[in-house]
Amino acid sequence: MRFKINFMEKITNIHDKYFRELFSKREVMQDFLTGALPNVAKHLYLNTLELDETTYIDENLQNTYSDLVYSCQYGANYELNIALLFEHKSYVPQHPYLQLLGYMLKIWETNVKQGKKLIPVIPILFYHGKKEFEKKPFDSYFEKMDDFLRNYLPNFDFELVNTNTLSDEQIKTLFNQVALRTGMLLMNHIFDSSEELLKKLFVIFADFKKLQESEMGKRFLNTTMIYFFSGTKLNIETVKKAAEELNFELGEVFESTAYQLIKEGEVTGMQKGKIEGKIEGKLEGMREMVLEMIKNGFQNEIIQKCSQFSLEEINKLRESVI
């Protein structure tokens, strides 16, 4: 018997792409559930976690949302689904219950179409926005409710994982996976001011040497750097200088990795992000990066900022793509 964890995300957003890259790894999901949701994890056989490619979203939303599903054995005789909605915005979602309920209904509709019994769903919402998220009961979103009217409302709850409530020390203590600790710390501070983020370099990337010990770790580190520069206003020069002031070797790693990505004309793991800042590299490598940004819908203003190409040069490249 199986249970499923369903992660819903806006694939057009860099935060969601990074989240998917991080949580698509089985060992990371095992560690996340154990550390962040121990009351849920204690009911599961986490060694049976498997990524499920089934899609449970409306066809009209496929260009905006994507679901990440895991199957896992629960107890001896039960089968469950867990729906995890990842909300990346810097403001609290207006109606989280409605969004979660919509995905839950799609899961159950799929059960019916496949001739299967309905599988229970435990929704989980992952939030790392700037504002405080006060979880409220569903009936509080309605006006003038009494006991009679409450009988006709859907009655369900969801688990909330709010990174705002976790300190850096708690994240480092709760999670054993190096990638998960690094990813959670970065997501926890991605909306900080540039000054504050620079002060946190040593904290966020404390384990970067361990990530460099394996090819998988190196790929994740590349993805993390891309997310770092895509989601902040910082550039390579500033980060390198701050790292040197902290006597932290990370600056050279950032520079060499970013240069390599641009030189090869590719961005790994996050479906072609942007690397922000002035990086000296070969003209051909920079040209390839600009072409990829054009193909992925970036505006001229952003491309010019990242590449330092003139608008005339960018428009000529656009003509070659067309």
What is the per-residue pLDDT across 205-224, written as a single tens digit (0 to 9) for each? 988 888 888 888 888 888 88
| Per-residue pLDDT, 11 | 42
Tokens standing for 271? 């479906």
DSSP label of 261? H
Domain boundary among 178, 200, 217: 178
Q: With 50 as the cut, is the pLDDT of residue 276 above it?
A: no
| Residues 172 and 262 grouped into a single domain | no
**Spatial CB neighbours of 148, under 8 Å, sequence gap ≥ 6:** none
* Residues linked to residue 121 through DSSP beta bridges, in sequence order: 81
| Residues 172 and 217 grouped into a single domain | no
Distance (Å, rounded) from C-alpha 215 to C-alpha 122? 34
Least confident span in 26-35, 82-91, 129-138, 206-215? 82-91
Q: Tell me: the pLDDT tens digits for 226-266?
A: 788 778 888 777 887 887 777 677 766 666 665 555 544 44
pTM score, whole prediction = 0.74
Tell whether 221 is covered by a domain: yes
Domain boundary among 178, 212, 247: 178
Residue 18 Cα to chain centre, angstroms: 4
Our count of domains for the chain comes to 2
End-to-end, the C-alpha distance of the chain in Å comes to 51
Distance (Å, rounded) from C-alpha 139 to C-alpha 169? 36
Helix and strand numbers, DSSP H then E, in the chain:
16, 6
Burial class (CB in 10 A: 0-12, 13-18, 19+), 86: buried
| Residues 197 and 169 grouped into a single domain | no
| Per-residue pLDDT, 36 | 95
| Residues 154 and 202 grouped into a single domain | no
Tell whether 271 is covered by a domain: yes
| Residues 114 and 231 grouped into a single domain | no
Q: Tell me: the pLDDT tens digits for 1-35?
A: 445 555 444 444 678 788 888 988 889 999 999 99
Look up the domain containing 110 and give its range.
3-178
